[in-house]
Amino acid sequence: MPEPTAPSSRGAIDLAAFKTPQPEPIHGTADAGAPTWVRSVNQELFPEIVALSQQVPVIVSLGSPRSPASVQLDATLASLVDAKGGTLALATVDAEAEPAIAQAFQVTQVPAVIALVNGQPVPLFQGSAEVSQIQSLIEELLGLGVQHGVAGTIAPLGTTAGATAPAPLPPLHQEALDAIESGDLPAAENAYKQALNEKPNDNDAAIGLNQVRLLMRTQDKDLAAVRAAGAANPDDLAAQLDVADMDLIGGHVEDAFSRLVGFIGRHAGDEKEAARARLVELYSVVGVADQRVVASRQKLARVLF
């Protein structure tokens, strides 16, 4: 577990960028009426969360409601945090709706999970993680809080009674999320494919399918070996696709895009089309409205036409 970042570091939060906090609805995952230490955070509310981190460690989950991985991760985090009974809190952030918060943490890919200890950021992980890994990180975070005098217990941030229940997912989408949670990625892939067979214009299913396929392609890959193969074989399609996948999973979004755009510009025929198709998939995973996707599409257009 890294030490909290010093106030003058690049990762420090600039409170001047945020306004006076206003009340925000509480969103939790417990039964109706149960206490919760989970709060959905926007830019106006963020200073309150930073102040709260002077009493207990606060986990900040930056994600997207369009990302099945983000939705599932937030549910897992909420359950684990609420089980601690006020020794820490969880702030969930829609990174697309609140880009200022994502930029303050220098987040380049969601889901991303960071902690605040006494107002200072502590990176935890990006992407998905096993429940056992998250539990271990929570214990380390609580220990870090003790070291820095942030080891209190806070009252619930609210109850789930007033929370707005999210609309239920379509059955096949829920089946896919359940499969992801259990680690059965092929079953999740099949569920999303069936959803698309039934409704070809199901954009959420298409995004979910691309996300699952990315996880399947990278789950057993060794980063060092993939990077070495990519460096040694700059014109090998499979090697470059593998590096791009690993870059995206690791949060190096622009590097992944630039690598494939460069490959497309140097090649023709089937290899060029395969690289273009993979790049479009990765655009979907990141989000077509993301400015990095917009910039990369412009570069892609130049090498294609």
pLDDT tens by residue, 215-239 = 899 988 999 999 999 999 999 999 9
In terms of average pLDDT, the best of 117-131, 150-164, 222-236, 285-299 is 222-236
Can you give the length of the chain in residues?
Answer: 305
pLDDT at 109 over 70: yes
DSSP string, 259-303: HHHHHHHH--HHHHHHHHHHHHHHHHHH-TTSHHHHHHHHHHHHH
Mean of the per-residue pLDDT values of the chain? 83
Q: What is the pLDDT of residue 158?
A: 72
Rounded CA-CA distance 285/58 in Å is 27
Rounded CA-CA distance 58/117 in Å is 7
Is 286 in contact with 253 (CB distance < 8 Å)?
Answer: yes
pLDDT bucket at 246, cuts 50 / 70 / 90: very high
Binning the chain into helix, strand and coil, the percentages to the nearest 5 are: 55, 10, 35
Rounded CA-CA distance 128/131 in Å is 9
Assessment of whether the complete model's pTM goes beyond 0.85: no
Higher-pLDDT residue of 299, 34: 299
Please write the tens of the pLDDT for every residue from 293-304. Answer: 889 999 999 998
Gyration radius (Cα) of the chain, Å: 20
The candidate with the shortest Cα–Cα distance to 38, out of 3, 101, 85, is 85
DSSP string, 34-51: -EE-EEE--TTTHHHHHH
Q: Is the dihedral of CA 168, 249, 76, 60 positive or negative?
A: negative
DSSP character for 111? S
Domains along the chain with CATH numbers: 15-162 (3.40.30.10), 171-304 (1.25.40)
Higher-pLDDT residue of 179, 68: 179
Please write the tens of the pLDDT for every residue from 179-200. Answer: 887 889 999 999 999 999 999 9
Is 105 in contact with 115 (CB distance < 8 Å)?
Answer: no
User: What are the b/e assignments for 47-80, b being 16+ CB within 10 Å?
Assistant: bbbbebbebbbbbbbbbbebbbbbbbbbbbbbbb
Give CA torsion, residues 244, 245, 250, 256, to 10 deg. Answer: 30
Among left, alpha and beta (phi > 0; psi -120 to 50; other), residue 182 is alpha
Q: What token pair was written down for 64?
A: 């997207």
3-class DSSP assignment, residue 88 = coil
Q: Among 20-24, 56-60, 213-217, which is the least confidently predicted range?
A: 20-24
